[in-house]
Each structure stands twice: as C-alpha cells, then as structure tokens.
Structure 1
Amino acid sequence: MNAWLNKIIAGSICVVGLFSCKKQDSFTQVKTGTKPAFSATATDFTFSEATAGDDAVTYSWTASGDWGYRAVVNYTLQIDEKGNGFRKPTEAFSANNSLSKKFTVAALNQIINNMGLAAGRQHELVVRVKAAVDTVGDQVYSDSVLLTVTPYYVPKVYPYVYVPGGYEGWSFDDPRLGALASVNSDKVYEGYLYFPDANTEFKVAAAKSWDVNYGDAGGGSLVANGGNIKAAEAGYYRFTVNLNTLTWSLTNTAWSLTGSAAGGADKAMTFNAATKKWSITTALQAGSFYFRANNANTIALSDDDNNGVLTAGSAGAISIETAGTYTITMDLNNPGNYIYTLAQ
C-alpha cells in the first residue's frame, strides 16, 4: 500500500512540475520601448491674432516598439522653457498610438499663454514626446526640438467653478454668472463678484449645472448640496473656494493704488457698476505703484511681467518714469486674467 501511495505522490509532483514549467515558459518578458524619433515642420514663430486660424506646426514621431508584447502606447507632447530640464513640463497633447499632432497658431499660442509666458516677447522653449505603456509604468522620451516663439496675449484658460445666485437670477445661462479660477489647477479657486444688493445668496457649482454643487456648512465650511451662502452687504467681493478642504472665504473690497508714485498714500479708485471696473485719474510722480484692497497688503495686485497682466502681491510694482496725470483702469472681471491700462 505504501508503494502505491509513493507512486501517487510522485506522479502528482511530476504533474505540478509540468504545469509550473509551462506557466513559467508563458511569462512575458517586459522591456523598455525604443526611443521615438521626433521632428517638427517649423521651429521659429512670431504669432499674431491675424493668423490665429493658420496652421503653425506639425510634430511627428516614430512608433515606440519592442516593449516585449503587443502594447498600446500613449504619446504625450511636453513643452518647457529651455534650460529647465523638463522638470515641470506642460503637456500639450496626449493620445494612444498617435504619431503626429498639428497645431494652429491659436491653439499653440493658447498653450504658451497658459504657461504664464509674457506676450510680445521671444521665448526659447523645447518640445519632446513621451512614450508610455500604462500597464507597465515605464516610459521613454525622444530628443527635444527647439521652439522659438513670440506669442500674442490671450486670457489663460483655467479650471473653473461657477457661482449661481440671486444676483443673476440663479441661472447658468445668464451672462452675469460669476466664475472662479484655479490658476494652479489645484482645486483652490478665486474670483471677484459684484453684488448690487444686500443679503445676496449664492452657491458654488462644479460645472454649469446643479449636478455637483456646494453650499454653506457654517463656519466658513462647504458641504455638498448645502445651504445658500450669503453676502450681508452689497459690494465688490473677492470670493475664494478650496475644494480640497471644503472651505470658503468672502471679502468685500474697495480698491486703491499706492506706492512711491502715489507719495506713499492710498489713492482711492472708483467702481463702475456697469462695466465692473475700477478706475482713477490722478497725479503721479516718478516712481512705482501697485493695487491693493481695503488699504492693506493682504489682497494686492501688481505686474510681475510688465505686460499689463496682474498677479498676486506687490513685487511687480508698476513703474512711472515721468510725473504727470494718469488714468488707470483695473479690470478683474475675468478670473485669473486680471488686467489694467495706464494712459497719460
């Protein structure tokens, strides 16, 4: 009986061994794919609105193969400033198994503006393609090609949330509907809203629908489908929303300009309810100025790139070279795209 038992055990071991060998032989050897060859039809541009609809450039690359199996390869175009080493590249295009991408002047100019690069100035950028297989988690990169470009200004396009409320009839189709922008694409949103009446109520919507909306949970907190948020007084408000922490803040603002060109004082600006812009005509001396709310630097705007576009803080104070009377207008209507004009 022991002999029969030994035969059965031995046979079982052989069968298991055979299946084990067969399974091992069926393993796929995963390898890193080949580097794509990358090219561009042009590399030097000066963009203008007059040619916005024209084709600018076509980028082409060869297929990345030899991944060790029949892979679906995703190709992503990356753009960065020359010398940055693609540490934080902008991804301009992504698709599976695609081997080329054509950009119009308008499309590529929008990407350049979204990168925060100043309009009207020449920039040296580099472009490359990344090939990756999601299931493997590996990736390879082409060599880069140069992109020398002078863009024209267009407002940046950001992720937005919307602010339906009593001030615009609770409608997603009303042109008065306010929006907030996440300039860092980090779910932290900011924008400015004019409420002509006291006790205006409103909410936050993730899109132009009520499918995903947030309301007041008390204490500066938000909750999905919560109650209406209320602005107790009429005014021009800075509204911030953080969807990571589900919090909000609302500050009624009155704007002024200040700095050495204003003699160190705050020169109050006037709000136009029809245009929703702030303006002032005043004497300025040689020096610099910036904008701030409520005579404090907690909320301040200045021109870091000296291109008429405002960014947070006072570091980019605006220079006045010649003393005289100036008319300054500030427009905060487009969230994340705050601008001003200066005329003598």
Structure 2
Amino acid sequence: MKKLSIFLLMIITFAGFTSCEQDDDVVFVAQPDPDGVMFVNATAESYTLTNQTANNLAERFVWNEVDFAAPTTVTYELQGSSVSDFSTFTTIGTTGDNNLGVTVRQMMSLAMEAGLDNDPETEMPNTGQIYFRVRAYAGTDGSNGLNAVSEAMSLNVILPEAEEETGPELPKIYVTGNFAVASGYEADWTPEAGIPLAAAADGQTNYEGFIYMNVDTPNYKFLPTNEGWDGNWGDAGDADGAYTEVLESPGVNAGTPDGTGGYFLVKADTEALTYSLTETNWGVIGNATPTGWDSDTDMVYDADNKIWTLTLDLTQQEAPDNGIKFRANDAWDLNIGDNDADGTMEFNGQNIGVPESGNYTITLDLSNPRMYTYTLTKN
C-alpha cells in the first residue's frame, strides 16, 4: 500500500510539472500606444510661399516617439492635404525618426490644390489653410493594422501676387558633373538637372552658390543655361580635374582645390573668366549656445533635404547684440547672419536672436543661391 501511494504521488507530481510547462507558453499581443502620436513643434503664424524660395525648407515637423510594445521598428508617415478631413492627401515622406522637413514647393502644391490661385476677383484669393498629420505604424509597410494617427495641424499660407514677390529672378548659370547623383541631385552630366549659381543682380556676371560634391574625384563644367552644352566653360588647364581658377570655353573638366569632394561655396565670373571653390563645414556659435562665442557647435549635412541641421539647447538672447550666428570652418572668414530678422541670410549679417530658452532643431539652407535661409524650431 505504501508503494502504491508513492507511485500515485509521482504521477500527480509529473502531471503538475507538465501543467506548469504548458502554462509558461507566452502569447504576445501588441497594443497601440495609449498616448498616441502628436506634433510637438511650434509653427509660424503664416508661411509666404514663393517660386524663388521653392527649394527652401518651409517647416520641420516634429512629433513624439510612439511605442507599440511590439518587437519591431516604428515607421512614421507625414501626410499633407488641402482639406481638413484628409479625404485626399499626399504622402510627404516616411522616416524612422520623429521629424521630417517640408519644402516651400511641397506646401505650394498643397496650396494650389486648396484653390489659392491668385484670382484677382476673389477677396484675398492667395491666403488660406493647408493641413498636415502624421501616421505611425509598426513595421515598414503598415500592413499589420497596428497604427496611430495624429490630429490634423492647420497652417496659414500665402501665395503672393507675382508683382509682390521679391523682385526679378536673379540671372543664373549652371553646374553639372560626375558628382550629382551621389550628392543628392538629379542626374550626372545633364544640363537640364544642372545646379544653379546666381548673380548678385541683373546685368552682373559674378555668380555664386553652394554645391555638395560627394565623390572622391569631382569633375564638372559650367553652363550658361540648363538647356544644353553650347557655350560651356571648363578649366583652362591641360587635363581633366585641373583647378587653375581660370575658365576657358570649352576647356577641360574642372576639379577641386585638393582633388577631393566636399561641400563647396562655388563662385564664377563669366566676364573675368575666373572661378573658385571653398570647402565649407558649418557650425553655430554665439552666447545663446552652450560654448558661447569661444567655439562652434558643428552641424551635420542632410543630403536628402539639402540642409545643415543641429539639435541644441539654446538660451534666450536678444539680437543684434546677442544670439547666434552660422560660420564655416571654425573661423570668421565665412559667416552668415540675419540683418532683418526675416529668416533670410546675409554674409557678415547681424546676430540671430533666440526668443526663449529651450531645446531647438536648427537648420541652415544654402541650396537656393543668394537666397539662404534658416529655421529655429523649439522641440
């Protein structure tokens, strides 16, 4: 009888272990983030959208990070619409980060969809609203149904009448070469995709602009128009890759000062037949930054959006005596400020004020020649 009791106890114990083993199986059920997704960036009272600034960054949207409690990545999709109910919308872009920039051109497209067509018979026809929202979803294709969508953010936009824009378009020449695709531009050695340099004013021949050449050995030429190769200028040297700073038509393919790539301030005078490239790496300096006027905080170049960016804690400072400035190569030879506090830049311009202390995303857009802009967005 005692042996039988021990045998029954062993059976019960084994069954208990088996039951525990089965109970330990885990079924994972992902849940939406209870806090959802929402914009956290400040916006301007209105955005003036012009053809001259079409390639500039208009706004950088920032949102909170979403946690779906799932072992997968989270993708964010920024959407823009001309209607508040998003019955139709455009996908501005997708990213794994919690921010994405929108250009003036992208806002203009939404504004035109909203009917801001500058009809003179309509009261204030060029002023209206466009809308943005962000969708977060688990994974990379949004197919699993686990997502969250923010409330719509409305922005006031203005499309100025043509005569109200900032004067006539500046004369331009163009640069094309072997570096374009690798540097975020459209096509190599293609006049139609040439990168513009702008003259100071109508009738002048002193052109300038900033160009990223992200290849080991850049080669390029200057073009009088973006319609073909007629009248192109190269370097007056003997072989491709020469850098004599003298233009010749047609000349050989021009190079860079040390033969390597970088982010360059490019200047050309088509009357004096001279040109120059100065490599630049940009930073922020000023008594609004943690290191004051003693040293720069380096920015990082974003080739997709063609802007320099930096996230930094700033203290409140009032311009023009205080604030920040942008400068290249940790020196004052090339520095940019804002004389009119209007978001457009001038070489050797005044300090830029900081309205209140906080953490900021700072952008510097040098992609539109002689129409350089910046943004300070409080996070």
Q: Same fold (TM over 0.5)?
A: yes
Q: Given the two structures, how large is their TM-score scaled by the length of structure 2?
A: 0.51
2:179 partner SS: helix
Alpha-carbon distance in structure 1 between the residues aligned to 2:161 and 2:340:
17
Alpha-carbon distance in structure 2 between the residues aligned to 1:112 and 1:251:
35
2:201 partner SS: coil
Question: 156-165 or 193-202: which moved more?
Answer: 156-165
1:52 CA drift (Å): 4.3
CA distances 1:163-219 after superposition (whole Å, capped 9, x unpaired): 011113201233xx3110113231111111111112110010000211111111253
* Equivalent position of 2:14 in the other structure: none
The answer to whether the aligner puts 1:275 opposite 2:310 as a matched pair is no
The answer to whether the aligner puts 1:173 opposite 2:192 as a matched pair is yes
Alpha-carbon distance in structure 2 between the residues aligned to 1:210 and 1:223:
14
Find the partner of 2:264 among 215, 233, 237: 237
* Equivalent position of 1:335 in the other structure: 369
Alpha-carbon distance in structure 2 between the residues aligned to 1:244 and 1:257:
35
* Equivalent position of 2:166 in the other structure: 114
Residue identity matched to 2:166: N
Structure 1 residues 163-202: aligned runs within 5 Å: 163-168=175-180, 169-174=188-193, 177-185=194-202, 186-202=204-220
Structure 1 residues 294-313: aligned runs within 5 Å: 294-313=329-348
Find the partner of 1:252 among 271, 275, 279: 279
1:250 CA drift (Å): 0.1
Find the partner of 1:223 among 248, 271, 277: 248
The answer on whether the counterparts of 2:282 and 2:298 sit within 8 Å (CA) in structure 1 is yes
1:245 CA drift (Å): 1.1
Residue identity matched to 1:223: E
1:255 CA drift (Å): 0.2
* Equivalent position of 2:223 in the other structure: 205
Q: Which has the higher strand share?
A: 1
2:326 partner SS: strand
CA distances 1:263-307 after superposition (whole Å, capped 9, x unpaired): 112111011122221000111123311111111222221222212
* Equivalent position of 2:119 in the other structure: 54
Computed over aligned residues only, the root mean square deviation of the Cα atoms, in angstroms, reads 2.4
Report the identity percentage: 31
Query: How many residues are matched?
Result: 207
Check 1:179–1:210 CA distance in 2 against 1; reply closer, same or farther (3 A cut).
same
Q: Which runs of 5 or more structure 2 residues have no equivalent in the other structure?
A: 1-47, 50-110, 122-157, 181-187, 238-243, 318-322
Check 1:233–1:110 CA distance in 2 against 1; reply closer, same or farther (3 A cut).
farther
* Equivalent position of 1:162 in the other structure: 174
Residue identity matched to 1:170: W
Check 1:310–1:110 CA distance in 2 against 1; reply closer, same or farther (3 A cut).
farther
* Equivalent position of 2:138 in the other structure: none
Residue identity matched to 1:311: E
Q: Which runs of 5 or more structure 1 residues have no equivalent in the other structure?
A: 1-46, 57-104, 116-155
Alpha-carbon distance in structure 2 between the residues aligned to 1:291 and 1:111:
32
